[in-house]
Structure 1
Amino acid sequence: MSFSNPTREEIKDILKQAGNIAVVGLSDKSDRTSYMVAYAMQKRGYRIIPVNPTASGTEILGETCYASLQDIPEPIDIVNVFRRAEYCAEVAREAVAIGANVLWLQQGIVSDEAAEIAKERGLTVIMDRCIKVEDANLLVKDSE
């Protein structure tokens, strides 16, 4: 399978329609990239739902943290992943199981297996792109 990300216009539409973003691997440490990206997205108006088994039951960015995607009691639009590539296939399976619309692997993360799992079941897949950078480039500039 030859993978290609959606077009810039498609990514822009995905972000415009997104409400709940589950962030898998969101750290509770404010100096971590996952925290900084999620914080910026939250400030832009997105609902961030933390997923991190070691922080489950606590709050990160004012939101309850869940151990897994299946534990989240509401629909998820985007599953944004801050995990190493070898863990992404399992995250893709969970994203499919909860009916997410998009599997988004952060910048530096590529998993053909995860992409195949998600795409075969109708999810849009974005890999090796930072959601915060895409939001800033595609939407923030539009609103200025």
Structure 2
Amino acid sequence: MPHQNPSNEKRRELLQEAKTIAVVGLSNKPDRTSYMVSQAMQNNGYRIIPVNPTIAGETVLGEKAVATLTEIDEPVDIVNVFRRSEEIMPVAQDVLQMKHKPRALWLQQGIANEEAAELAKQQGIEVIMDLCIKVDHALLGVGKK
């Protein structure tokens, strides 16, 4: 059965309750979509944790970047992913290895991977695919934190 995203109400609730978003593939270049979306979410009160091995140790949006999800020691509510669809399975596997299991794996607009979604769902993690978290935040009327 193909994946179905959670209802608008469930996504709104997730975004209202979330505090921390780990962003896989966050670029340190301000003209990149991952940077702009993450900055917008940060401006809405979320803490952003950059996850990108090529910039690990650097500061992006005022936060120190880590190489992998498994390096994060604190609770993360949402893992937001900016990677190609065919690169999602290793990300989903890393999500399952995190010290604190996130509530959701969010694949940005244009990104979908049924196998990875199934793996995460089996572990009780909500999966949102092919939706921009920033657009959803605005459309669902989620207030500032």
TM bucket (normalised to shorter chain) is over 0.9
Following superposition of structure 1 onto structure 2, how do residues 1-144 of structure 1 map, counting pairs within 5 Å?
1-98=1-98, 99-140=101-142
Q: Structure 1 regions of 5+ residues with no counterpart?
A: none
AA partner of residue 125 (structure 1): V
CA RMSD of aligned residues (A): 1.1
AA partner of residue 140 (structure 2): L
1:12 and 1:95 map into 2 onto residues whose CA distance is 22
95-104 or 15-24: bigger deviation: 95-104
TM-score, normalised relative to structure 2: 0.95
Which structure features the higher share of helix residues? 1
Deviation at residue 118 of structure 1 after TM alignment: 0.4
Deviations 1:8-60 (CA, angstroms, capped at 9, x unpaired): 01000000110110000000000000000000000000000000000000000
Could you tell me the percent identity over the aligned residues? 56
| Number of equivalences | 142
TM-score, normalised relative to structure 1: 0.95
Q: Which runs of 4+ in 1 moved over 4 A?
A: none
Secondary structure at the counterpart of residue 21 of structure 1: strand
Secondary structure at the counterpart of residue 48 of structure 2: strand
Partners of 1:96 and 1:123 within 8 A in 2: no
Q: Structure 2 regions of 5+ residues with no counterpart?
A: none
Deviations 1:98-127 (CA, angstroms, capped at 9, x unpaired): 111100000000100110110011100000
